[in-house]
Amino acid sequence: MPLKFDFCPYCQRKIVFNLTEADIDTAHYPSPIYIHHTDKTCDKTSTFYVDSLLRVSYKELDKKESITGNKVKTVNTIGTR
């Protein structure tokens, strides 16, 4: 389970989350995944897009649907740095 580091698009704080291939829709890349920043000061969900190597390609503030119609999984952050 790869540990990922990125920045929350709302509060710009560094976030940490775990991501596996089972979390994403492998029918289309980049694949959307919802990341919920569980910090008390933020507590917002944004859409991150990951490629086939589970690298974050880009992110958006809004929750976006998958273009394949598959359900998009929500992953909670496990820390803030």
**Are 20 and 4 a contacting pair, CB within 8 Å?**
no
Digitized pLDDT (tens) for each residue of the chain, 81 residues in all: 678 899 999 999 999 999 998 999 989 899 999 999 999 999 999 999 999 999 998 898 888 888 888 899 999 999 766
**What is the predicted pLDDT for the residue at 42?**
94
Question: How far, in whole angstroms, is CA 33 from its chain's centroid?
Answer: 4
Cα–Cα distance, 61 to 73 (Å, whole number): 16
Number of domains in the chain: 1
Type of residue found at 80: T
Domain of residue 66: give its range.
Answer: 3-80
Angle at 80 between CA 29 and CA 34, to 5 degrees: 30
